Chains A and B, each alone.
Chain A
């Protein structure tokens, strides 16, 4: 497939690009990139523990004795924001579960059985992802409304799963591929059905891979904004949408409050990534092969 060649060429180019530079230069470049990416987050973090007057001034005069967590508690005290956080947790978790469940059911035959059209299926599922999400807004909206799932957790979970499932299938299939078939053969000899072998032997054997896939699905669902915005109104609003509402609303003028809200919105994911760091790296390194 031409596409495979393209990816291989890109990977090669990346590798040779890094080889062009001495290690020191490479680290400097990476450091610069990190600073570029992390600075806004750090700044928001600072804003969330300082009163506005401290950082609005030019130059900002930050005072240690002004550090306070009161904006956090204020934000959490707001029912609608706490609800939004809860919604995000529910939606992301359910999406993760769906992606793992259906993903492993799809990845199993793709990895183990001799079928026609496997390549086509995988290719198609990846290509779908390249479609700009905004193109799907109207059809999705109509579909969800038809199903009566507007502004429901389930509605959002279904929509998010449709985006994240193909990638989950890819990842899980690649992890399955690395386990020799004899493992399931042994399980079947011991008394498992094919499905039993999947559940009791294959998935546990790729547990790190499952965790990596789960984390990707969770983060993907947590960060989703566009469909969250369009498909929810009040009940099922995820935190990403709530934040944007805060920023643009005229209700709160206290920027520190908004900053705290922002930090709260990313906190669960940051914690998750720190805790499961090893598995994520494994997923990135081993999970996407062509």
Chain B
């Protein structure tokens, strides 16, 4: 009961195109994240779904009904804001009960529902406090309670964790995840934090400059980014990008990547024929790069350790050769030191190739595997 569909939705403010032709199908019960940097149109999109902004073009559907022109409160949605947006002149109880009061719900019912929700979010003891007396975490929980009490069909989250410190953020993330697991209400979450998106979401829509670049399952967006933009936005540490040329050996179907004096060769039977040598950006994630004993092999690169990032559970090293830098993940007890010469191996089926000009994926990962 919370299937949201956007069809060719656009929003422009004068000459500024904030959202361009966005189509999105959000299945019932799904946790969907709109991910992107500031100004990419994700909050505007969310506001249009909520009814706080009018669409310039396109339609929005909820469970098959066209809600494009409906007022915000008619849509059965609840929103949680970045700065909590709690009413300062009311106490916690008043804040949570506000929507019910406006609907003229009987007092007993209001009390019942408010108490239930307050207990669930552990703010029951704070019901008669003033908002200004609460901490950031408590305020956010009250904001969640205010949304929950409406028993909405869709939850909308506008960067709700951005104002919290790191520890609180992690905790609240877990609470939101648990909430979704419990209630299974369709949730649409806006954030610029890709880690948050990965942890919380079933589906991620990566946005750039008002458009959706990729929309899919979280792990698919991670493992199979269809654009350079998505590949570098998602994943920590950032995917290593190498600029160079890609060509297929006509005789044996082997794949070669050349950049400067670095050549990576992979044998195999690449079915696709590439016209000459195509200028590409090659991407590889740190966890897919392996440190191997010195030597040559398929897809190997030898360079010097330029940076060490020990994280405790993993260590990330930057291996540099000329203009190329590749980040590799190594075991924490494997000790390397700066300027040491090492060899890394990049497996063929983990490498991503993007057209240097358009940024779009060129080679399918399982082609020629």
Contacts of A186 in B (CB 8 A): 79, 81, 85-87, 146
Contacts of A254 in B (CB 8 A): none
Given A183-B87, A205-B88, A207-B89: A190 in contact with B73 (beta carbons within 8 A) = yes
Q: For A205, give the chain B residue with the smallest CB separation.
A: B88
Interface string of B96-120 (1 = CB under 8 A from A): 0011001100000000000000000
Q: For B75, give the chain A residue with the smallest CB separation.
A: A189
Partner of A189 from B77, B82, B87 at Cβ < 8 Å: B77
Contacts of B146 in A (CB 8 A): 186, 190
Q: For A185, give the chain B residue with the smallest CB separation.
A: B52
> Of residues A183, A189, A204, which shows the largest number of chain B Cβ atoms within 10 Å of its Cβ?
A189
Complex CA–CA separation, A55 to B39 (angstroms)? 73
**For the complex, is A114 an interface residue (Cβ under 8 Å from B)?**
yes
Contacts of A114 in B (CB 8 A): 13
> Of residues A114, A180, A186, A193, which shows the largest number of chain B Cβ atoms within 10 Å of its Cβ?
A186
Interface string of B118-136 (1 = CB under 8 A from A): 0000000000000000000
> Of residues B81, B103, B146, B158, which shows the largest number of chain A Cβ atoms within 10 Å of its Cβ?
B81
Partner of A190 from B51, B81, B83, B98 at Cβ < 8 Å: B98
Contacts of A207 in B (CB 8 A): 89
Instruction: Let me know if B102 and A191 touch, CB within 8 A.
Output: yes
Q: Which of A170-203 contact B (CB under 8 A)?
A: 180, 182-183, 185-193, 201
Task: Categorize the interface residue count of chain A.
Answer: 10 to 19
Whole-angstrom distance from the CB of B208 to the nearest CB of chain A? 24
**Residue total for B at the interface (Cβ-Cβ under 8 A):** 26
Partner of B73 from A189, A201, A205 at Cβ < 8 Å: A189
Complex CA–CA separation, A205 to B47 (angstroms)? 23
Q: For B78, give the chain A residue with the smallest CB separation.
A: A189
Instruction: Let me know if A205 and B87 touch, CB within 8 A.
Output: yes
Q: For B150, give the chain A residue with the smallest CB separation.
A: A190
Instruction: Let me know if A183 and B85 touch, CB within 8 A.
Output: yes
Complex CA–CA separation, A137 to B25 (angstroms)? 66
Contacts of B102 in A (CB 8 A): 190-192
**For the complex, is B48 an interface residue (Cβ under 8 Å from A)?**
no
**For the complex, is B305 an interface residue (Cβ under 8 Å from A)?**
no
Contacts of A190 in B (CB 8 A): 73, 98-99, 102, 146, 150
> Of residues B78, B86, B89, which shows the largest number of chain A Cβ atoms within 10 Å of its Cβ?
B89
Interface string of B200-215 (1 = CB under 8 A from A): 0000000000000000
Residues of A in contact with B (beta carbons under 8 Å apart): 114, 180, 182-183, 185-193, 201, 204-205, 207
Residues of B in contact with A (beta carbons under 8 Å apart): 13, 47, 50-52, 71-73, 77-79, 81-83, 85-89, 98-99, 102-103, 146, 150, 158
A sample of 21 cross-chain residue pairs with beta-carbon separation below 8 angstroms, ordered by A number, consists of A182-B83, A183-B87, A185-B47, A185-B50, A186-B79, A186-B81, A186-B86, A189-B50, A189-B52, A189-B78, A189-B79, A190-B98, A190-B99, A191-B99, A192-B73, A192-B102, A193-B71, A201-B87, A205-B87, A205-B88, A207-B89
Q: 13 extra interchain contacts, Cβ-Cβ under 8 A, other than A186-B87, A189-B77?
A: A180-B83, A182-B85, A183-B87, A185-B52, A185-B81, A186-B146, A188-B52, A189-B73, A189-B79, A190-B102, A192-B73, A204-B88, A205-B87
